[in-house]
């Protein structure tokens, strides 16, 4: 028996609280894009294989297409729209621009969110570590070298917040 019963869910996204009535099977990605109208987070494969939908939840990188919105009731969510501080770009955003770390730009929001989360995790010590830890975020255009260069610059202290 299918039910369309909704559940009141409170999501704090980029510092703003949203109270949403969600059916249990709505992904966080769809809630962000269709209910809150934050379309910076991209839908790529919708199967957790490309990383285009990566957001930060309580500071950790998460694939929003594989996360149910109702499961994140009360969570602190940061999307690409919440990365900059007004007109001041985040160091990772600045480094992506300087290293031409994007071509079509479709994967860039997920790449940036994932890079910020990865840097905060503190596990990446080498360029190879960064490549491995970012391997869940695919760039079909082939900007991977620029992406890794940008992340390494920020990780090594070339850009500061």
Mean per-residue pLDDT of the chain: 94
Residues 139-153 pLDDT 10s: 999 899 999 999 999
Overall number of domains in the chain: 2
48: left (phi over 0), alpha (psi -120 to 50) or beta: left
Q: Which of 81, 102, 121 is the last residue of a domain?
A: 81
Is pLDDT at 3 greater than 90 in this prediction?
Answer: no
Whole domain around residue 73: which residue ranges?
A: 7-81
For CA atoms 106, 112, 117, 122, the dihedral sign is positive
Q: Is the pLDDT of residue 101 over 90?
A: yes
* For range 51-62, the mean pLDDT: 97
Find all residues with CB under 8 Å of 84, minimum gap 6, and list them.
90, 93
- In a shared domain, residues 71 and 114: no
Q: How far apart are CA 146 and CA 13, in angstroms?
A: 29
Residue 48 lies in a domain: yes
Over residues 69-82, mean pLDDT: 97
Domain shared by 12 and 72, yes or no: yes
CATH number at residue 124: 1.10.150.120
pTM of the model: 0.93
Query: Given this model, what pLDDT does residue 161 score?
Result: 52
Same domain, 63 and 116: no
Range 32-53 average pLDDT: 97
Q: Specify the pLDDT at position 157.
A: 84
Percent of the chain scoring above 90 in pLDDT: 92
**Residue 4's pLDDT is what?**
81
Same domain, 60 and 99: no
Q: Is 152 exposed, middle or buried (0-12, 13-18, 19+ CB in 10 A)?
A: middle
For residue 8, the surrounding DSSP H or E stretch is strand 7-13
* Residue 76: pLDDT over 60: yes
Same domain assignment for residues 37 and 99? no
**Maximum CA pair distance of the chain?**
56
pLDDT at 17 over 90: yes
**Same domain for 76 and 29:** yes
Q: Tell me: pLDDT of 159 over 70.
A: no
| Residue 38's CATH number | 3.10.20.30
Last residue of a domain, one of 57, 81, 105: 81
Q: Is 65 exposed, middle or buried (0-12, 13-18, 19+ CB in 10 A)?
A: buried
69 and 101 share one domain: no
| 73 and 97 assigned to the same domain | no
Q: Is residue 160 part of a domain?
A: no
Residue 57 shares a structural domain with residue 15 = yes
* Mean local confidence (pLDDT), 81-110: 96
């Amino acid at each position: 028996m299918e039910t369309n019963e909704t559940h009141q869910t409170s999501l704090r996204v980029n510092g703003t609280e949203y109270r949403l009535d969600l059916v249990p099977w709505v992904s966080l990605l769809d809630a962000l894009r269709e209910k809150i109208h934050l379309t910076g987070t991209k839908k790529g494969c919708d199967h957790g294989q490309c990383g285009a939908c990566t957001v930060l939840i309580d500071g950790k990188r998460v694939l929003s297409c594989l996360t149910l919105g109702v499961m994140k009731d009360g969570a602190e969510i940061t999307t690409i729209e919440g990365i900059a501080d007004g007109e001041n770009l985040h160091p990772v955003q600045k480094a992506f621009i300087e290293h031409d770390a994007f071509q079509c730009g479709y994967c860039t929001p997920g790449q940036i969110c994932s890079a910020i989360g990865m840097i905060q995790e503190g596990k990446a010590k080498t360029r190879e570590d960064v490549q491995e830890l970012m391997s869940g975020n695919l760039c079909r255009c082939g900007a991977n070298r620029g992406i890794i260069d940008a992340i390494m610059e920020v990780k090594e202290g070339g850009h500061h917040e």
